[in-house]
Structure 1
């Protein structure tokens, strides 16, 4: 009988991800999310936040595949728009950046900035890092620079 181990050379651990949050933000635990933080102040419409998901995808997947899934998640949402993806480098990692927006059921406008990075592995898969910064409501325009600063601090290591 063989014993399989995780992490191991055959089944590597996911990459580590870190980000810098302001003093008035707090870490939060969210199911299926590796890392999450939100602003701590009082918010009547929407609380600015950042989440990080880490997983694996097929090695041949391209950023367009992730963007199609993102576009699919916006189907049926009022005022949904998806921006043009653009390549960016953050903390030495190549990401694709895309902005999306929609209105929630209360009519509150939500804007998200998504960063996607696929990191090839030797086993034909890729580690996939997806960082999302979200703002909304009447303070969205004022909150967006702070969320983008957090996104600019993302560091991925293997």
Structure 2
């Protein structure tokens, strides 16, 4: 067997993901994800964040497949209330966006905003997921910041 290289045409690199975080947000390494963007921390308050992840699927995997999985996951959260969803186009790419309100055992009431898209390559389909979390309080600037960050997403196949 000949030497195999990662990335290559057989094992493509993950897509390029460009995001514009709000002023003051910082980056952080988190397990099992590409990383996270974090709002400025405030003592006694949940820190709003957006976790960025990519998962590899077989060729032919479609946005409707991951959309059903996201909706099922969010619906299973404690005291979950799913808000309406519709297909969204962000920077020319189709996304499934869903927001849920639920009760986190340690953090209390949270809003979770999940956006997913599928990047098709010859050898694989990559699911890009942006998951934002914050406290769902009235006039919450954190939720607006998460919306803005997700709206800035520019995802392209790896070169």
Any gaps of 5 or more consecutive residues in structure 2?
A: none
Match of 1:152 in 2: 151
Query: Conserved in 2, the CA contact under 8 Å of 1:111 and 1:140?
Result: no
Change (3 A) 1:107 1:22: closer
Match of 2:134 in 1: 135
Write out aligned runs for 1:2-151 (5 A): 2-74=2-74, 77-106=77-106, 108-123=108-123, 125-136=124-135, 138=137, 141-151=140-150
Q: Give me the TM-score of the superposition, normalised by structure 1.
A: 0.85
Q: Give me the TM-score of the superposition, normalised by structure 2.
A: 0.85
What is the root-mean-square deviation of aligned Cα atoms in Å? 2.2
Any gaps of 5 or more consecutive residues in structure 1?
A: none
Change (3 A) 1:42 1:28: same
Query: Conserved in 1, the CA contact under 8 Å of 2:119 and 2:156?
Result: no
C-alpha displacement of 1:51? 1.2
* DSSP-derived class of the 1:21 partner: coil
Change (3 A) 1:6 1:131: same
Q: 1:99-128: CA deviations, max 9, x gaps?
A: 1221112572111111111122223x3121
C-alpha displacement of 1:21? 1.3
Change (3 A) 1:61 1:81: farther
Please list every run of at least 4 consecutive aligned residues from structure 1 whose deviation after the TM superposition is greater than 4 angstroms: none
State how many pairs are aligned. 157
* DSSP-derived class of the 1:148 partner: helix
